[in-house]
């Protein structure tokens, strides 16, 4: 595929269009900070879940998951596929005018939209923007990218997005993406679980939700070796097998929390003898305690 060139663009108008696209994805207030000509826009927004065609524009787009929301994510097109769990600290990248379809969860995001000419000098010796295609074909959980994006947001709130610090931060992010991007031709193909295998694994886990399920038992049930099972689970669900087992337990716990069962009873029902460990696992997935979740849904 070819990427859009550095065409003449009214970036003030594109900034307006970006705000409009974000407004279509949320019913909650969003915050925007941009430079004077609109070539860089930062935003914080709580985006609703979506499924179907992703809207696209002329910016290089980065979306960082912040605290609140998250879940399974898929964005794919003729440029490749980014799939997995989008949660706090996860970063997704979209390149200019790259059509894509898939789905994304409701999530609080910090967005960074950059005009291609701001990025071009950083990639001119690496085949231009096309050098970022491998980075767009995966989700990133990189503490450095997370820290720099948050620092850029805080600096832009005070100084705008035209400072030397801001330019340095953009270059740090781009170089980090280039360094971590592995060409797709070098990546070993991972065969995901088939629909039948995923159902078989899920049924196996659900039938034993209150017991100490071992990953080796799931591997044996599916006739897979441990390494292959782990890679297939990550490719299909965004979770390692143990994480997926825990997620199924937490989903079952949510159903039980709607009843009058005590927190201790719910913990035991999903395989936790220690309610504190159950509460800690629940918070990792849903960002609240079991009792807080129960109060919210009642």
Give pLDDT tens digits for 136-148: 999 999 999 999 9
Q: Exposed (0-12), middle (13-18) or buried (19+): which is 227, by Cβ within 10 Å? A: exposed
Q: Does one domain contain both 30 and 157?
A: yes
Per the structure, the complete domain to which residue 208 belongs is given by 195-297
Q: What is the pLDDT of residue 164?
A: 64
* Partners of 216 in the β-ladder: none
Confidence at 64, pLDDT banded by 50, 70, 90? very high
Q: Does one domain contain both 137 and 201?
A: no
The answer as to whether 52 is a domain residue is yes
Give pLDDT tens digits for 96-131: 888 899 999 999 999 999 988 888 888 877 778 888
Report CA 264 to chain centroid distance, whole Å.
32
Q: What is the pLDDT of residue 255?
A: 92
Q: Which residues of 77-101 are buried (b: 16+ CB within 10 A; e: fewer)?
A: bebbebbbbbbbbbbbbbbbebebe
Report if pTM > 0.75: no
Q: Does one domain contain both 164 and 204?
A: no
Q: How many domains does the chain have?
A: 2
Give pLDDT tens digits for 239-288: 778 888 888 999 999 999 999 899 999 999 999 988 998 998 888 888 89
Q: What is the pLDDT of residue 99?
A: 86
In the listed set 160, 186, 212, which residue is the last one of a domain according to the structure? Answer: 186
The answer as to whether 2 is a domain residue is no
State the CATH number of the domain containing residue 118: 2.60.120.10
DSSP-derived secondary structure for 144-184: HHHHHHHHHHHHHHHH-S-SHHHHHHHHHHHHHHHHH---G
Q: Does one domain contain both 30 and 149?
A: yes
The answer as to whether 4 is a domain residue is no
């Amino acid at each position: 595929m070819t990427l859009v060139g550095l065409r003449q663009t009214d970036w003030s108008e594109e900034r307006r269009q970006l705000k409009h696209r974000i407004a279509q994805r949320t019913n909650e207030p969003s915050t925007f900070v941009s430079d004077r000509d609109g070539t860089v826009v930062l935003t914080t927004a709580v985006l609703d879940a979506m499924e179907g065609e992703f809207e696209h524009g002329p910016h290089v787009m980065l979306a960082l998951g912040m605290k609140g929301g998250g879940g399974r994510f898929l964005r794919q097109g003729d440029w490749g596929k980014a799939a997995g769990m989008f949660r706090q600290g996860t970063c997704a990248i979209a390149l200019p005018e790259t059509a894509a379809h898939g789905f994304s969860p409701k999530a609080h995001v910090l967005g960074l939209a950059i005009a291609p000419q701001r990025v071009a000098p950083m990639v001119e010796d690496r085949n231009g923007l096309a050098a970022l295609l491998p980075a767009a074909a995966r989700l990133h959980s990189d503490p450095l990218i997370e820290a720099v994006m948050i620092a850029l947001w805080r600096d832009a709130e005070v100084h705008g997005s035209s400072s030397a610090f801001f330019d340095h931060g953009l270059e740090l992010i781009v170089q980090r993406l280039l360094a971590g991007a592995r060409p797709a031709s070098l990546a070993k193909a991972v065969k995901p679980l088939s629909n039948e295998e995923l159902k078989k694994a899920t049924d196996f886990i659900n039938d034993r939700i209150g017991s100490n399920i071992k990953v080796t038992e799931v591997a044996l049930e599916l006739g897979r070796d441990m390494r292959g099972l782990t890679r297939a689970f990550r490719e299909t669900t965004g979770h390692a097998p143990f994480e997926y087992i825990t997620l199924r337990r937490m989903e079952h716990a949510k159903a039980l929390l709607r009843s009058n069962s005590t927190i201790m009873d719910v913990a035991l029902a999903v395989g936790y003898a220690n309610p504190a460990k159950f509460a800690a696992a629940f918070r990792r997935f849903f960002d609240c305690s079991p009792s807080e979740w129960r109060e919210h849904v009642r």
